[in-house]
Structure 1
Amino acid sequence: MEIPLKYKQLWNNWDVRVLILLSLSIQIILIFLGRLRRTSTSRWIRMVIWVSYMLAEWVANFALGNLSSTMDDSSSSNVIIAFWAPFLILHLGGPDTITAYSMEDNELWARHLLGLGYELFIAFYVLFRSLPDTRLLMPTLLIFLVGIIKYVERSYSLYKSSVEGIQSSISSLSPTKLERTNDLNGLSQDFWLYSATKPSFIDVAPYSDQYFKIKIIVMKMSAKEVLMVIRKELSYAYDEFFTKAIVNHSILGYVLRVLCSTCILLAFSLFVLEPKHDFNKLDVAITYVLLTTSICLDFMATIMLMFSDRMVIYLLNVN
């Protein structure tokens, strides 16, 4: 059965627009529901997160591949369509709340990083097709910068959560760095215990002297306190294995956070100031949705970062 021509034409006109909005919707789902996966036992929530996680990369890649075929050399909308390409790179970088769905995903960090080359080639080809019109070149490059940073952050988080990455972090964590057990507040002590027991997550015995210190601390606790400590340690482990926490909670991570937020705001300002009388009104509306939603999601991610336990621990240990 042949598909009627009018439906084919309708899809040709709307395919990229629908896909890019779908990709954005998946990012919204992941940033909010990704946090619930750690504590929720609902099968429906886990199913939605799993489906969204599986679709996120496929939809973004498919939309990116279709951008060039949507462009018409005689249309002024080429420049605004090219502006959408870096948003798809940004979506491929994923939200801070979920980088992997399982530990096996972390072992694919190299393949994920290599994929950046192919995706950037397609995105820059789309940008090249929009030239010599350079009206939105600066905001496009700003979002490109943010997208590349977020993509590399995710790849690095995947690497640090792989067996190889965990082994490297354990080998760099000498016993002298774990000696401080006195005068620690509750959160710092819980994080110290997590750091000291991290080798156990990959079936490596912790340092013997640290093992005895852990034993002494735990024996002084009540059963309820031990369960609370275990809950905290598993929470830290989840953040490190399945989110961008290990990147975000570092000096470089804080700098990149400010840089990315600034770039998104600048891109939004430049787009607002750019005359848009010859652009398709629907395309302009979609672009505003992409920009405003990116600002809101970045703001939400910053709030989550600021009020996380790891941020409190970092501030308490700043000399």
Structure 2
Amino acid sequence: MDTIRILMLLSLFLQTILAFFGDRRKYATGFWLRFVVWLAYISADWVATFSLGFLACSQTNSANPNLIPGFWAPILLLHLGGPETITAYSSADNELWRRHLLELVIQAGVASYVLFKLWSRNTIIFVAIPIFVSGIIKYGERIWAFRFPSLEDFGAEDVSSSSSSAYEVKNVREARRLFRAFKMLSTNTLVFDCDQTETYEWVSRKHAEETFQLIEIELGFLYDRLYSKVTEISWPRVILHSITCLSSISALIFFLIMTMRKNVYSKHDTMISYLLLVGAVLLDCHSITVLLLSDWAVIWFTSNKVKGASRYRINCLSPLLSLCRKRRRWSRSMGQHLLTSAPSNKPVKELRKQYFAGKLNSYSPVDGSTALIELIFQQVMGKRSRYDPRTSGFNVFALLAERGAEPLRRKGFFNEFGWSVAGVEFTQSLLIWHVATLFCYIADCRDDGFSKERNCVMSSRSLSNYMLYLLVYRPAMLATELPRTRYAETAVQWGRLLSRKTKERMEGNSTFDEFDAFFYELLPNPPSMLQTAEEEDKGEKSALLDGCRLAMSLQSLETGNGWSNGKKWEMISEVWVEMLLYAATRCGWKEHADALAGGGELLTHVRLLMAHLGLSKQCLLEVVSKQLADQSV
């Protein structure tokens, strides 16, 4: 009997972890947090299911009906319903709703059998029935969340006011309108429900920071739909949550009264029962609190479905809205990885790469700066200004295919540098520019007048390391064929070259200073060092040699073409932004949705921004369909 007691406490503990930490994946990128949530997620259902079966057997075979409280079985059904904050760990879990429906039928049958035993023994059935009802509701709500993760239409009401609370309401409701503009299907497609000119008008009138704030809220809505029960609030949901909470409270009260009159259970079982019932009440209260503090609550309280003047409701919501403004909706961080870390880092297991890419696998993430957000927004708007679906034909394909050529053309250096972005495969181009960016940075750091904190320099460095991070740890988001192959070959050549030039220093752990030394040796004697790199290449698909050559050409802009250092870095940053835009459109929506469960990616925000502005292949299909329909008429 000690086994079932331990399992009951373990099940409550796992539910508590999922309730309080399940939704932090939305904005947290730490390895340990995601590992703990993953472990609790895969263990919670197994522990509850095993405990329910074990409890049913003990109730059937026990000669003493009061040995273990039989109402523990409905509590396990309540645990199987899960907390409000997490229903799925990955988007693939949503496809298993039929299995969970079958499990509901089976587990409810087992719990009903235990209740029948209680009924025939005339024991504390009044404690078990409310918990049983609450468990059925919560489990059914979880299956509903699995079954309907798609995006549904929702009524909107414009709110106009100058107060800060009204501004927050306006942001949430505008993000909800953008969220209604598309439906992400289970396949890798995006279907728009409204004319793209409408979303273009909404987004193009705003500043960069405000636009990204709207997209943060919008992707928060998507995360809630895919991975939690926190979705739009309605009166039926309010009633169901009230029933579950009142059921848990009433069960606790009934048990308190019955134990005060006559307690037939042991002291330990009584304490565990109180702990389980109090835990059920607190978890229900936590679920209600999570709903009331969500953006969905703001939508519901300011909708036409709730009576009262809009201004009055907004003033009443001021405390809630102040919490909304402080809430983190995504990590706002960019993973970082350097090619120079490849020879010294230990191999990372594939499982950890795929599911737990984070601080243990790469350099610490950096926050997306306001300057970087502004640069990305300006470049996206510039690309959009070159495309008009009504007059420009279908040139959006050409715009989406650009991956660095346009900034070079604007600067007049496409003939010199175009080979690095247009003449090679994307992964090769990415590695070439990563090496070149690193080289230029180390070379410029030798100048005392060089400002490392300049926006264009920081943007170039962070984007260069971020794109390499995606290539190594999230290759599916770059949608390239065998993306790690070129990286591995480049890293191997890098290691051989360093081993040849600095063998005595490579006996221990490699440090960044050794890579500095390599570039410092390259600067005064480029022909000799490039010849050495070419000898080490041996016909492989390494990008190291081309990266060094590109870097030397970029450095010559200051001496041969009279460019300022700032102008050079502006061009480098613009090339990296265009590579980011290219990668964003190539990544499938399913991969973007999966990334939301790991703290979110800047790449996803950029993809959604471009889609709302009409820079998407799916948007083009909508235009084609409309034009064909007009022609048929």
| TM-score normalised according to structure 2 size | 0.44
* Distance apart, 1:277 and its partner CA: 3.0
Once the two structures are superposed, what CA deviation does each residue of 1:185-233 show, in whole Å capped at 9, x if it has no partner? 2211111111113348852331352x11110111111111121111111
Given the alignment of the two structures, is residue 113 of structure 1 paired with residue 104 of structure 2, yes or no?
Answer: no
Given the alignment of the two structures, is residue 36 of structure 1 paired with residue 21 of structure 2, yes or no?
Answer: no
**Residue identity opposite 2:105 in structure 1:** G
Task: Identify the residue that residue 279 of structure 1 maps to in structure 2.
Answer: 265
Question: Residues of 1 paired with 2:219 and 2:184: CA distance?
Answer: 14
* Distance apart, 1:182 and its partner CA: 8.1
Question: Residues of 2 paired with 1:21 and 1:205: CA distance?
Answer: 45
* Distance apart, 1:26 and its partner CA: 0.2
Given the alignment of the two structures, is residue 230 of structure 1 paired with residue 229 of structure 2, yes or no?
Answer: no
Question: Residues of 1 paired with 2:23 and 2:293: CA distance?
Answer: 14
Given the alignment of the two structures, is residue 63 of structure 1 paired with residue 47 of structure 2, yes or no?
Answer: no
* Change in CA separation of 1:67 and 1:208 when aligned onto 2, cut-off 3 Å: closer
Task: Identify the residue that residue 255 of structure 1 maps to in structure 2.
Answer: 239
Given the alignment of the two structures, is residue 268 of structure 1 paired with residue 256 of structure 2, yes or no?
Answer: no
Question: Residues of 2 paired with 1:292 and 1:238: CA distance?
Answer: 30
Question: Residues of 1 paired with 2:133 and 2:185: CA distance?
Answer: 38
Return the match for 1:216 from 201, 204, 214.
201
* Distance apart, 1:272 and its partner CA: 0.5
Matches within 5 A, 1:47-86: 47-71=35-59, 73-78=62-67, 80-86=68-74
Once the two structures are superposed, what CA deviation does each residue of 1:146-177 show, in whole Å capped at 9, x if it has no partner? 0000000000010111xxxx2xx55xx49xx6
* Distance apart, 1:240 and its partner CA: 1.0
Task: Identify the residue that residue 170 of structure 2 maps to in structure 1.
Answer: 185
**Residue identity opposite 1:231 in structure 2:** E
Once the two structures are superposed, what CA deviation does each residue of 1:56-79 show, in whole Å capped at 9, x if it has no partner? 11000000110133335431425x
* Change in CA separation of 1:276 and 1:35 when aligned onto 2, cut-off 3 Å: farther
* Change in CA separation of 1:207 and 1:130 when aligned onto 2, cut-off 3 Å: closer
Return the match for 1:299 from 285, 288, 295.
285
Task: Identify the residue that residue 141 of structure 1 maps to in structure 2.
Answer: 129
Task: Note the residue ranges of structure 2 that are not aligned, 5 or more in a row.
Answer: 161-168, 308-633
* Change in CA separation of 1:219 and 1:87 when aligned onto 2, cut-off 3 Å: same
Percent same amino acid among aligned pairs?
Answer: 34
Question: Residues of 2 paired with 1:245 and 1:131: CA distance?
Answer: 36
**Residue identity opposite 1:27 in structure 2:** Q
Question: Residues of 1 paired with 2:275 and 2:57: CA distance?
Answer: 22
Task: Identify the residue that residue 88 of structure 1 maps to in structure 2.
Answer: 76
More helix by share: 1
Question: Residues of 2 paired with 1:190 and 1:146: CA distance?
Answer: 33
CA RMSD between the two structures: 2.1
**Residue identity opposite 2:217 in structure 1:** K
* Distance apart, 1:119 and its partner CA: 0.7
Task: Note the residue ranges of structure 1 that are not aligned, 5 or more in a row.
Answer: 1-12
Question: Residues of 2 paired with 1:205 and 1:127: CA distance?
Answer: 47
* Distance apart, 1:121 and its partner CA: 1.8
* Distance apart, 1:138 and its partner CA: 1.4
Question: Residues of 2 paired with 1:268 and 1:239: CA distance?
Answer: 31
- SS state of the match for residue 82, structure 1? coil
Question: Residues of 2 paired with 1:129 and 1:185: CA distance?
Answer: 55
- SS state of the match for residue 108, structure 1? helix
| TM-score normalised according to structure 1 size | 0.86
- Which shifted more, 39-48 or 217-226? 217-226
Task: Identify the residue that residue 103 of structure 1 maps to in structure 2.
Answer: 91
8 Å Cα contact 2:119/2:125 also seen in 1: no
Question: Residues of 2 paired with 1:124 and 1:251: CA distance?
Answer: 29
8 Å Cα contact 1:16/1:70 also seen in 2: no
Once the two structures are superposed, what CA deviation does each residue of 1:232-281 show, in whole Å capped at 9, x if it has no partner? 111111011111123x6122111101111111111111111103432111
Question: Residues of 2 paired with 1:148 and 1:66: CA distance?
Answer: 20
8 Å Cα contact 1:190/1:232 also seen in 2: yes
Larger Rg: 2
**Residue identity opposite 2:235 in structure 1:** I
* Distance apart, 1:55 and its partner CA: 0.3
Question: Residues of 2 paired with 1:131 and 1:316: CA distance?
Answer: 46
8 Å Cα contact 2:158/2:170 also seen in 1: no
Question: Residues of 1 paired with 2:180 and 2:136: CA distance?
Answer: 30
**Residue identity opposite 2:248 in structure 1:** I
- SS state of the match for residue 205, structure 1? strand
Once the two structures are superposed, what CA deviation does each residue of 1:41-94 show, in whole Å capped at 9, x if it has no partner? 11000000000000011000000110133335431425x521100000000000
Question: Residues of 1 paired with 2:113 and 2:191: CA distance?
Answer: 50
Number of matched pairs? 293
8 Å Cα contact 1:53/1:101 also seen in 2: yes
